[in-house]
Structure 1
Amino acid sequence: MKLFVRRTGGRIGLWGGLLAAALAAFAAGWLVPVRAPAGCKLNELTAAPDFSPFSPAAPVVAASDAGTPAAPSLPEKWVCLTFDDGPSKTTPEVLAALDAAGVHGTFFVVATGYNEKYLPLLTQAAAAGHQIALHSASHEYSDIYRSSAAYWKDITLLKERIAPYVDAENIRYLRFPGGSTNTVSRRYGGKGLMPQLKTEVEQRGWQWVDWNVCAEDAVGGHPSADTIYRNVVRETGEQTHCVVLMHDSATTRTTAEALPDIIRWYTDNGYTFLTVAETLPLG
């Protein structure tokens, strides 16, 4: 897989190549959940991206197009550790593992009502230097992907719910539930919805973020810490610019257990740990 850079109005956008391994029941259409299962393997959530508007990433230190400010100089090898679906009862363990290693992560958070009592942990995470980004208030595909208006209503609600704990008004990074190329959204909002939402995010001067390494920590069967570690190493392969998708939910406790080994492996292989905002600063 390759990491892709997108230029939109002088901004650089991050595109993660997504995995495409289908589960038979979904391919056959036997299971149609309202809330999409977490993970990286479901075909509807990891459809093959349309690369036509993208080009393979050039070295980030290269000069930009004429008339566009040069991109910031970044290390030759870097990795962003990103966590979806928190905060939760697992968050303190994730934060402890990151803080022990002196590494900052990026948290794409939810505020579903079920995790309301954990939202104060966002203050702790932000104070420690971790990036807080937007994911969804409800994470219910049937709700958020009905229309553009429904999606932005969900984002507005998410910002309202996390505002007591972080500077929500100035958060401009988000991750679409299911990723920017999911096809499950077509069931509710039609084929043109995701392209429309991506355009609207960019028009706001915001940044949507995918991934190109998946820990597969939220798939069925509750994978062990060792399995999660091996998944990350395998998915990274020879890539030098990595955005790793992990989860920070109540059901992914082994992710925190795997983090020390994951961090050690990236360190031993010469990667610098960055937040998403550090790799893609917005003007």
Structure 2
Amino acid sequence: MLFLRSPYIGNRLRSLSLCLMLAFSLGFLSGQLWPSVTAAGCRLEDLTQDPDTHFAGAEPARQAAATTGADSTHASQKLVCLTFDDGPSKNTPAVLEVLERYGVPATFFVIATGYNDEYLPLVRQAREAGHQIALHSASHDYSAIYSSPAAYWEDIDLLRERLSPYVDPDGLTYLRFPGGSTNTVSRKYGGAGIMKELKAQAEEKGYQWVDWNVCGEDAAGEKLSPGEIFKNVVKSTNGQSVCVVLLHDSATTSTTPEALPDIIGWYKEQGYEFCTVEQLYEK
């Protein structure tokens, strides 16, 4: 329901309220650094309806084009990024198999909680298959990572360390904040201004932070059927020409790989080109 921080497409990724429909009916769940609850995921009630529309660091000409739609070359393109949070997991091989079958690249925002150690080698497999690996969180524990900016970057450093046997951490320059860049739960732990501070620090450190504007709601709490996930994606695409789709690669989202063939087929029928987030940012 949010957006990609990009100088070309900022105005084209509009805020959607679809991903907040269940926000007040779902109970908040989060892990610990070594959690007793193994499921980790971005929760809908952690998000706000209005995304940050700041595009810091954009070149003035590109920023103007994004704001006015003057960049006709990119305005005519239909682009989609499939992004998967909270992996790798036991479901990652199924996700990778579908992506390979349809020749589609994707971006994986990964975690390394300790509970998914046995699946971390899949990060290398995904990278070698041409997919983008990006940073999400080591712990996915909101109370810990959002207690202060320093705590957040300690978590990112730990994630990079745990991923280093499988992928070069120096090449990991894209990240997604747990809960999104406009989450409200962080205020309980780090104060009202923590996300603004973290976004500024991310840019200073050379990271691109990424949200989304299409949501499959596959980690909303109740396990959805493949058909329901597909319908959510189609509905929240809502005619947008540039889509960053939020899906999950966690142990509890086993129906997501089953929904992928229909999702991919539908976007292809609508004339979308698939790309990674990094490729989208470079277009």
Q: Is TM-score (shorter-chain normalized) higher than 0.5?
A: yes
1:220: Cα distance to partner? 2.0
Output aligned runs, 1:217-232, within 5 Å.
Answer: 217-232=218-233
56, 62, 67: which one aligns with 2:71: 62
- SS of residue in 1 equivalent to 2:44: coil
Q: Residue in 1 aligned with 2:211?
A: 210
41, 44, 50: which one aligns with 1:41: 44
Aligned-partner Cα distance in 1 for 2:143–2:42: 18
Q: Say whether residues 1:113 and 2:129 are aligned partners.
A: no
Q: Which has the larger share of strand?
A: 1
1:77: Cα distance to partner? 0.2
Aligned-partner Cα distance in 2 for 1:12–1:226: 29
1:51: Cα distance to partner? 4.8
1:17: Cα distance to partner? 2.7
Aligned-partner Cα distance in 1 for 2:117–2:193: 33
Q: Residue in 1 aligned with 2:172?
A: 171
Aligned-partner Cα distance in 2 for 1:201–1:40: 22
Q: Residue in 1 aligned with 2:77?
A: 76
- SS of residue in 2 equivalent to 1:233: helix
1:59: Cα distance to partner? 8.0
Q: Which has the larger share of helix?
A: 2
1:46: Cα distance to partner? 1.6
- SS of residue in 1 equivalent to 2:71: coil
Mark the CA change 1:139 to 1:184 in structure 2 (over 3 Å): closer, same or farther.
same
Q: Residue in 1 aligned with 2:199?
A: 198
1:169: Cα distance to partner? 1.7
Mark the CA change 1:47 to 1:247 in structure 2 (over 3 Å): closer, same or farther.
same
Report the residue type matching 2:82 in the other structure.
L
Mark the CA change 1:40 to 1:32 in structure 2 (over 3 Å): closer, same or farther.
closer
Mark the CA change 1:58 to 1:235 in structure 2 (over 3 Å): closer, same or farther.
same
1:275: Cα distance to partner? 0.2
Deviations 1:222-267 (A, max 9, x none): 1000000000000001101000000001110100000000000000
Mark the CA change 1:203 to 1:255 in structure 2 (over 3 Å): closer, same or farther.
same
- Aligned pair count? 265
Report the residue type matching 1:21 in the other structure.
M
Aligned-partner Cα distance in 2 for 1:113–1:16: 36
Select between 17-26 and 142-151 the one with higher mean Cα deviation: 17-26
Aligned-partner Cα distance in 1 for 2:68–2:256: 31
1:162: Cα distance to partner? 0.5
Mark the CA change 1:34 to 1:257 in structure 2 (over 3 Å): closer, same or farther.
closer
Q: Residue in 2 aligned with 1:247?
A: 248
After TM superposition, the score normalised by the length of structure 2 is 0.85
Aligned-partner Cα distance in 1 for 2:82–2:207: 20
The alignment yields a C-alpha RMSD, in angstroms, of 2.8
Report the residue type matching 1:208 in the other structure.
W
Deviations 1:100-122 (A, max 9, x none): 00000000000000000000001
1:129: Cα distance to partner? 0.2
Q: Say whether residues 1:21 and 2:21 are aligned partners.
A: yes
Contact in 1 for aligned 2:40/2:86 (Cα 8 Å):
no
Runs of 4+ in 1 over 6 A off after TM superposition: 11-16
Q: Residue in 2 aligned with 1:68?
A: none
Report the residue type matching 1:108 in the other structure.
F
Aligned-partner Cα distance in 2 for 1:86–1:220: 17
- SS of residue in 2 equivalent to 1:156: helix
> What percent of counterpart residues are identical?
53
Mark the CA change 1:170 to 1:257 in structure 2 (over 3 Å): closer, same or farther.
same
Report the residue type matching 2:15 in the other structure.
G
After TM superposition, the score normalised by the length of structure 1 is 0.85
1:4: Cα distance to partner? 6.5
Aligned-partner Cα distance in 1 for 2:2–2:162: 35
Contact in 2 for aligned 1:47/1:181 (Cα 8 Å):
yes
Report the residue type matching 2:41 in the other structure.
A
Aligned-partner Cα distance in 2 for 1:132–1:74: 27
1:38: Cα distance to partner? 3.2
Mark the CA change 1:4 to 1:114 in structure 2 (over 3 Å): closer, same or farther.
closer
